[in-house]
Chains A and B, each alone.
Chain A
Amino acid sequence: MKGKTAAIKFNKKIYPAKEIQKAIADFKQLASFSLSENKSYRIVKISDVMAQEDKLIGNEFSNYALSLIKH
């Protein structure tokens, strides 16, 4: 993903902003993140991935954000 940018769209009704922001803060050493939003989605753009397994970071990020949601 080096040089490339991947975008993940998180549904606002499912993923609260607080958890997305926390996930970004916890992953910030692994890549660059930017957060924007439209009417229904929070959009996380991931670029400059440091890790070798760059394809996984989007999936791992999504899993982590989901795990942060309080049950």
Chain B
Amino acid sequence: MSHPKTKIDLKNNEVVFWLDSKIYSLESIYNTAYVFLDRAYVFLDGDPEKEIEVHLKGKEELDGKKLEALQGEFLNELLNFLLRTKIAKRNKKIREYIIASALVSGLPNSFVSPNEDKETKAGWQDDPLGIAVPWEEKNQKPTGKKR
């Protein structure tokens, strides 16, 4: 088990740690940093292709334990973000399908194809195929006699 390298600097009220870019992408670190902007001053350095250096400086004065806790929360949020990203990628197609279905069902009737329109307008008493017409009526030969 490997922990990220950490340095706690009480004088500057900050914790500095390094994250392996192979595990944590720069994108995920940006997003996590964004969550912490209201609680800490976040500064990033290092090489995004190898190792990213994260500086978290407390906005309020923090002791060693609190700085360590701040780092822990940052790492938890980072994992949370990575998991959310992974799930979002996995569910992308099904989300697109659900949105497409919702959009299609919300279309006004004018957007529906002409055949579909007829089908939807036909009531239960309509008989477009003449199924309800008796056989005799259908096959009655014209007599040719006029009354």
Q: Which residues of A does B touch, CB under 8 Å?
A: 9, 11, 13-15, 59-60, 62-63, 66-67, 69, 71
- Quick one: which of B31, B41, B44 contacts A14, CB cutoff 8 A? B44
Q: Which of B43-84 contact A (CB under 8 A)?
A: 43-49, 52, 57
Besides A11-B46, A13-B47, A63-B41, 18 new A-B residue pairs in contact (Cβ under 8 A), listed by A number: A9-B45, A11-B44, A14-B44, A14-B48, A15-B44, A59-B41, A60-B41, A62-B42, A63-B37, A63-B42, A66-B30, A66-B33, A66-B34, A66-B37, A69-B30, A71-B27, A71-B30, A71-B31
List 26 A-B pairs, Cβ < 8 Å.
Answer: A9-B45, A11-B46, A13-B47, A13-B48, A13-B49, A14-B44, A14-B45, A14-B46, A15-B44, A59-B41, A59-B57, A60-B41, A62-B41, A62-B42, A62-B43, A63-B37, A63-B42, A66-B30, A66-B34, A66-B37, A66-B42, A66-B44, A67-B34, A71-B30, A71-B31, A71-B34
- Contact residues of B with A, CB < 8 Å? 26-27, 30-31, 33-34, 37, 41-49, 52, 57
Cα-based distance from A68 to B66 in the complex (angstroms): 27
- With a cutoff of 8 Å between Cβ atoms, the chain B residues found around residue A14 in the complex are 26, 44-46, 48, 52
Distance from A22 Cβ to chain B, minimum over Cβ atoms (Å) = 16
Inside 8 A of B47's CB, which chain A residues have their CB?
Answer: 13
Of all chain B residues, the one with the shortest Cβ separation from A70 is B30
Question: Who on chain A is nearest to B53 by CB?
Answer: A11
| B residues less than 8 Å from A59 (CB atoms) | 41, 57
User: CA–CA, A14 to B49, complex, Å?
Assistant: 11
